[in-house]
Amino acid sequence: MPRRRPVILSGGIDTWKARTWTFDSFPGTRDVSVHLEEGELFDCTELSPEGTILSKRRVEMPLRDFARELQSVTDDAPRRYLTEWPLFEFLPELAGDIDYARPNLFTREFAAPVRVYMGPAGCFTPMHYDHAHNMTAQILGSKRWVFYPPSRGKRMYPYDSEAQLAHFSRANSQTRLRDDAQFPLLRKLRGYEAIVTEGDLLYVPPGWWHHVYTLSPSLSLNFFWKSVGLLALQILMTGKRRALRQRRASNVPITREVIFAMARTVIWKSR
């Protein structure tokens, strides 16, 4: 982590009760409905040329039905993907299944709400980077991640720095990633490939570009947390830019506990 490089901790979540989850048991004790992407993310999202989200089309269905469906998806069926779902907001009874103390790698006060990513083989997350630290716990299934260091950012064809999707590449689908005519520089880049399997904990540093392909029916939990500097920037941002930033999965709610934790961190570092 101090070197700001991605790393996989094999068996990093072996102490978690969540390791006993199955797709049938995961929905917990209550019936909830979820909104799913159908197809790749930007197939069901309308964008402006400048990189602003204009609308999103999602399919709604009960979580229990989706969990059963994704285990037997056929090749000709639509790829439905549950992304950025705030787990404990809807299923608080599962909160005790996460052991934050093992491994103790981040300050919980600086963490965004835990998010779920769940889908069948073939789901795809487009090329992007995150401003916050990212920890992904692979509970079920496996995924292939491909990484590119921050120094390659200008070759990723990003949107303008002021755009809502400034952290995404314009090559935002599997087809566009292979479009040599429109994105010739991508072909010359060599990424770092990693297969993340059940029980792995993956750390992704801020600024690292990546895209993700689901290899088998998968359930993973995402933990974003921010540095003191990034939290301070979030607090200071006003108007439209703050509204855009707060819609991201990496947003950390600014509470009194967060403010106190920031103060303790600054004081400790100044000693």
The pLDDT value recorded for residue 29 is 64
Asked whether residue 154 is domain-assigned, the answer is yes
- Total domains in the chain come to 1
Confidence grade of residue 216 (pLDDT, cut at 50, 70, 90): very high
Residue 43 vs residue 1, higher pLDDT: 43
pTM passes above 0.85? no
Residue 2 forms part of a structural domain: no
Determine the pLDDT at residue 246: 45
Q: What is the CATH number of the domain that holds 39?
A: 2.60.120.650
pLDDT 10s digits, 8-39 = 999 889 989 999 999 988 777 678 999 999 98
Give the structural domain span for 105.
7-270
How far is CA 248 from its chain centroid? 10
User: Is residue 43 a part of any domain in this protein?
Assistant: yes
Mind listing the pLDDT tens digit for each residue in 51-64?
888 888 899 999 99
d(CA 58, CA 44): 7
Predicted confidence (pLDDT) at residue 243 exceeds the cutoff of 50: no
Give a yes or no: residue 88 inside a domain.
Answer: yes
Task: DSSP letter for 112, please.
Answer: P
Q: Is 76 exposed, middle or buried (0-12, 13-18, 19+ CB in 10 A)?
A: exposed
In a domain, 1, yes or no: no
Residue 133: phi and psi, rounded to 5, are -65, 150
Residue 89 lies in a domain: yes
In a domain, 111, yes or no: yes
Q: How far apart are CA 185 and CA 189, in angstroms?
A: 7
Closest Cα partner for 263 from 112, 109, 131?
109
> Is there a domain that residue 258 lies in?
yes
